[in-house]
Amino acid sequence: MKPPPFAYHRPDTAEEAVQLLTEYGPDARVLAGGQSLLPLLNRRLVRPIALVDVARLAALRGTGRQDGALRVGALTTHAALERTADPHVRDGLPVLPETARLIGHLPVRVRGTVGGSLAHADPAAEWCLLAVLLDADLDVLGPEGQRTIPAAEFFTGAHRTALAPGDLLTGVRFPRPAATAAVAEYGPQRGSLPLVAAGAEIVLGPDGRIAATRIALGGVEDRPVRSGTAEQALLGGVPEPRLLDHAARLAAKDLDPRADHRAPAGYRRDLARTLTGRTLAASLARSTARLQEATAP
């Protein structure tokens, strides 16, 4: 099938893009990498009257530091992050390139963008999971100017976000390094969205106990969720396999999994438990290695 007719605009600045989006209102769509939008258009599942192609907005590409945070421009592609040489990413947030590598297959990663993925808000999308796991802030330019939306408030449901008509997502900021964070995921088909993805970060204190931790799960509910009970259970504990297993059980128990044509709810819960255990173990291994490096004579 072919897409329905639409007006096509290719602005040179973010301000111009917002002006166009505001003029058209809810009937306009931003076109970034097109990896999610074009299939929807071709199947006529969306019928925008105008597309605002943001490909020329070079200022929205790439990574950089901003007030101690790592900023990733909305138009940065998955492949660009996968291959980045930026030391702030490689050393401080290695989980970003590692996760980028898990997305789809190469042609999708070369075109698809971080901002497009966040705005599309698929419940299983890796960038949405990482934004929630790492307490990211999302920068938005709208008709009233710039504003920032914390990731915890950005995702409001499956394919639903706090973006309003006229809004352009300009970037995402990760407020602090998370060198030990890890992601694990499972999907029956290589090259497509996972069924369930889990992210975790364990930081060990000098005494070898768990000083800080985060756990988030994607693909289980209608948006990525943090596992507060499991995080609490880990805090201050000695990081033994039994404790990690206990936390993984708690994380899975707390969920309200959805069921769809891809998997029943119980299967998603089981996956959540297994993947949480796996990603906690991966993060612990990193944290242990860092502690050993720091205390080596």
- 130 near ligand FAD, rule: CB under 6 A: no
- Cβ(194)–Cβ(188) under 8 Å? no
Q: Which of 11, 115, 199, 239 touches ligand FAD by CB under 6 A?
A: 115
Q: What is the DSSP code string of 50-109?
A: EEEE-TT-GGGSSEEEETTEEEEETT-BHHHHHT---HIIIII-THHHHHHTTSS-HHHH
Using a 10 angstrom Cβ sphere, with 0-12 exposed, 13-18 middle and 19 or more buried, the burial of residue 138 is buried
Using CB under 6 A as the binding criterion, the count of chain residues that bind ligand FAD stands at: 30
| Nearest CA among 133, 233, 234 for reference residue 185 | 133
Distance CA 278, CA 81 (A): 24
Closest distance to ligand FAD from the beta carbon of 112 (Å)? 2
Q: Which of 41, 70, 96, 169 touches ligand FAD by CB under 6 A?
A: 169
CB closer to ligand FAD out of 224 and 239: 224
Closest distance to ligand FAD from the beta carbon of 289 (Å)? 28
Candidates 4-12, 62-70, 112-120, 268-276; binding stretch for ligand FAD (CB under 6 A): 112-120
CB closer to ligand FAD out of 192 and 274: 192
Distance CA 7, CA 28 (A): 9
CB closer to ligand FAD out of 168 and 250: 168
Question: Which residues contact ligand FAD by CB under 6 A?
Answer: 29-37, 54, 74, 103-104, 108, 112-113, 115-117, 119-120, 122, 125-126, 163, 168-169, 191-193
